[in-house]
Each structure stands twice: as structure tokens, then as C-alpha cells.
Structure 1
Amino acid sequence: MKKIKIIILLVLSSTIGFCQSFSRAWVTDSLFCKPESALYDNSRQIIYVSNINGKYLAKDGNGFISRIKTNGEIDSLKWVEGLDNPQGMGLYKNKLYVADINRVVQINTVTAKIENVFVVDSAKFFNDIASDSNGDIYISDCFGNKIYKISDGKIKVWLDDNFLSGSNGLLCTNDDVLLLNMNDKTAYAINKLTKKYNKIFSGIDNLDGIVSDSSSGFFVSGAWQGQIFHIDSYGDKKLIIDLGKEKIITADIEYIANEKLLIIPTLYKTVIGYKLTK
């Protein structure tokens, strides 16, 4: 009986924790240029923001990475410049990895210098990046329907399977790579060792970003309709933020657990912070 009570309490605590609402905490100055992705660097307490700054898939060198503080203040608008179409980002130690059409740009976060570029001539549209505790870097090719992996300083195809369809958002757990498919509106968990996959949930249009809620669930964005959902441990969906009426896009999001802060790049001129209500 005691074991059953403990399990019930754990489930309830997970569920109750995200039945609360979010409120808008801040909006940055309107200085960004198509901000697409946000990523928190806990070691520096700073948020990286990728800026497309041009037409999609244009190799124009206009893209850049910004840094903002957790209160929405811009720390450095053009911290690193010279990218083409920067999208999703991944972080491992002092290395920031940025998806940039058919290449992954590796930036040293100490020196703010580009120190390596992984080019894949056959890649069509690198969209998101996720890193794991081993330092392996996973990259989704949204148009090529493949997942690549950087390991031991080399980039190779990690997964090429028919179930990949508009592969977008990625998130690493201990055992799996979580993937959002835009075309079939479905999320999957792919085992890192066996590459077997299971469906987590389905039915959300324009799946873009996925982040952990720091418990047993996730936040995901439905980009073009401006929606943020919470997904619980059973795969059940709950709409928690809807910016569609304001015509605000919710792109590749980030969640900072210790701040209870959800970061939303808008693909326009601002980044928005939402605070979890206590």
C-alpha cells in the first residue's frame, strides 16, 4: 500500500505542477531579425538566440547569434556574425553548435569565435540540434528527412528511415532522441542504441521546438499558429499559451527550469519571456 501511495503522489505532483498558467514577464526590444531559436547556457546564465536575418535558405552571410539575459535585456545583439540561415542550436561544455542550412557551425562560447564548420553537401535543410551528456550532437534535416550525428569530430547520417517526415525539433534524454515530425504532426522517441522508435503524441500542427519541463513532461511549440502545449508523461496535450490572435509565431522555444521561464522567439523582431505562475 505504501508503494502505491508513493506512485500516486509522484503522478499527482507531476500533473499539478503544470496545471498552473504562464503570464508574460517581458518582451525584448524590437531589434532582432527573424529570431528562430533560443538556448540557455546555465554556466553563463545567458540565452543564445539565432537570427535568420534574410530570406529562408539564403546563403547570404547575414545571420547572427545574439545573447540576452534572463530578464529580457539584450546582452549582445550581434555576438557572432557571418552565418547564413541559423536555426536550432545545441550546447556541450564551451561549444555552441548551430544548424546553418547544410552545415553545422561550432562556436567557442568563451572566445565567441567560429572554430569549426561541419559541411554536408547533400543536406537540404538542417533545422534543429540537440546534444546529450556524452557530447554527441544530433541534427535534423527537415527537407532531407534524415538525422545526422556529430561524434568524435565527424558528422555522419545517424538515421534514415521512412517514418521521418519533415523532421524538426529534437531533444535528447538519457536513452532516446525525441523528434518532432512536422508533416505527420507526430512526436517520436528514438532509442539511441537500437534506433527503434515509439510514438509519444500526435495532432499538433507545425511542430517546431521541444524542451523538457524539468519533470516527466515537455513543452512543444506549434510555430505558425502561435501555440505552446504541455505534454504530460502519458502523451496528453494541454494548450497553455495561444498567441495566434496576436499573430505571433512561436518558434524554437526554451525553458529555464530554475527560473520557471519559457522563452519564445517570434521569427519577427522580438523574443518573449513567460513566467510560470506560482
Structure 2
Amino acid sequence: MKKSAILLSILLSAGLVSKSYSQKTLTKIWETDTLISTPESVVFDTKSKALYVACINGAPTATNEKSFISKLDLNGKITQLKVTENLHAVKGLDVLDGKIYVAEIFKLVEIDAKTGKVLQKYEVPNATFLNGVSVDKKNKIVYFTDMRSNRLWKLEKGQLVKVAEGAPLKTPNGVFFENDKLIIGNGDGKILALDLKTQQYATIAEGMGGLDGILSDGQKGYFATEWRGKIWHINPEGKTQLLLDTVDAKMNTADIEYIPSQKTLLVPTFWKNKVIAYKVN
């Protein structure tokens, strides 16, 4: 190895110079029919190879009892418009062992993915606005946020347990479980990492607007959205890149999903009533 290469390797290891990360771009590949009414969140079920969408179907408030879950294929075709219906203003959702877990305003709902039957509703103590949901598949735990109460919760072995509360949480919306940490999209534009073993927080990135969805890019970085209409990429060093800005077009970007094997980012557009898929280049 040349001396210059050895020196660069030493400097990189010491953190004295930064690695060069390529900029990413989005190319639209499909969009759904607008029967997907007020979509807030989308998740890919790796077992069934299906997409599930939480459709608020109206106002995102507790009085709305017309929400439903839709099922799509990977080309955006609606295969079942209403897997489950008559839910209350649903927000984030995820899938664990054949069950869909979705947040209503005050309850976490457990649904059989095959039949659409509601198996259980877990009423969260003093809940004000439940939102993002993410699962730890190995340990069979469901994590979720109570945005307006600045709390993080988990469902483990049928029991609700408060994980964290208060600062630096500030209207936490999206949440993503990764390697014994919770990655959190904060309302102050920061992405936080909560170490579940030490209960210590770290700031991964900041300087964005109020965040909604947050998830891994499969390369030690993240994708994040602002509900008002912005999609960001955050590289492993915490540097942000604005990938999409649809604020002026009044197209929201809610709780996203990313499929690394297909390099496909799925975006619920809320009031535009459709899910849009983008290829990440």
C-alpha cells in the first residue's frame, strides 16, 4: 500500500477527515389510486411481500371512526382496500409475526394481518396523540410514540411499559428500532438516538423542520420526512441532504417505508390520497 493511502486510512480512523458519501436522488416509479384515503403510514411485510397502509380517511382526530388499513402489492395495485375498518384516526403501523400493530389516538391496536380481525386494543395510560410505531422482531417488542405527551412506550409480552418521557423528546413522531436503540424523529427537527440499555440520548442530525417518518437507508444512514412536504437523507456522519420538497405543491410526506433490496422509497401523501413510490439512485 502506498504511503498516501496508509496516511488517509489513519486519518479516517482518527476522524480527522471525512469520508465522501454520494448524493442520492429520487425518481418516481408509480403511484396508487386515490382510493387510498388520507394515507399516513406505510409498511412492507417481508413475509407476505405486501404493503400495508394506514388510511385516516378524514380528519386526524379522535372523533374519526372511519379509518382503515389497505393492502397493496409492490407495484402499487390495491389488492384489498379495507383489510380492517372502523378504526380511530390511525397513524403509524408495523408488522410483527403476522400481526399489524397500528396507533389510534389513544390506543395501540393489534390486528390479524390475514383476516383483518382486531385481536386486541391496548389503552395507553394518559395518552394524548399516539403516532409512530416500530417493532423489534428479535425480542418481539412493539415501540411507539405519544407525540403530544413527549413519551415513548413499548408493548412487551402483552404489557405496556413506558420507555422514556420528557426532554430531549419534543413532540416525537416517527420512531425506528435499530440495534438496541430507538431512532426518533423529533418535532424540533432533530433526529435522536436513545440507547435502550443506558437510557442515554445522542443527536444524530439536526436543522430540519418538524419530523414525521424516520427509518434506515440500509447503509448506516437514514431517510426522514417532514409532514409538510420534505424528504431528507442523513448520511452516516449526520449530514443532511434534501431529496424532495413538495411544500409549495401542498403534497405532504408522512410516515415512509424503504425497501433496501429494491431501493424503493414509499411515501404516503396524506391529503393527496395516494402512496407514491420512488427509486433511490
> Are the structure 2 counterparts of residues 34 and 7 from structure 1 closer, same or farther at C-alpha, using a change threshold of 3 Å?
farther
Query: How many residues are matched?
Result: 270
| Counterpart position of 1:263 | 266
Q: CA RMSD in A?
A: 1.9
Residues 184-223 of structure 1 aligned to structure 2 (within 5 Å):
184-223=188-227
Report the equivalent of 1:107.
111
For 2:21, the aligned partner's letter is T
Match of 1:151 among 118, 143, 156: 156
2:32–2:76: 8 Å Cα contact kept in structure 1? Answer: yes
Structure 1 runs (4+) deviating above 3 angstroms are 1-8
Report % sequence identity: 34
Following TM superposition, by how much is the alpha carbon of 1:93 offset from its aligned partner in structure 2, in angstroms?
A: 1.6
Q: Are 2:235 and 1:232 aligned?
A: yes
Distance in 2 between residues matched to 1:112 and 1:152, nearest whole Å: 21
Structure 2 portions without partners, runs of 5+: 13-17
What does residue 250 of structure 2 align with?
247
CA gap of 1:234–1:33, structure 2 versus 1, over 3 A, is same
**What CA distance in whole angstroms lies between the structure 2 residues aligned with 1:201 and 1:237?**
7
Q: Aligned to 1:258, what secondary structure does the other structure show?
A: helix
Confirm or deny: 8 A CA contact 2:41 2:256 kept in the other structure: yes
Equivalent residue for 2:87, pick from 75, 83, 86: 83
Unaligned runs of 5+ in 1: none
In structure 1, which of residues 56, 59, 77 is the aligned counterpart of residue 60 of structure 2? Answer: 56
TM-score of the two chains, using structure 1 as the length reference: 0.92
- Is 1:36–2:35 an aligned residue pair? no
SS at structure 2 position matched to 1:70: coil
Secondary structure, counterpart of 1:130 in structure 2:
strand
Aligned partner of 1:45 in structure 2 is 49
Give 1:107's aligned amino acid. I
Shift of 1:90: 2.0
Q: Secondary structure at the match of 1:29?
A: coil
Could you list the per-position Cα deviations for residues 122-168 of structure 1 after superposition, in whole angstroms to 9, with x for gaps in the alignment? Answer: 10010111111211111100011111111111112111132211011
Going from structure 1 to structure 2, the CA distance change for 1:264 and 1:7 (only over 3 Å counts) comes to farther
TM-superposed deviation, 1:6: 11
1:5: Cα distance to partner? 5.3
The 2-side partners of 1:83 and 1:187 are apart by 30
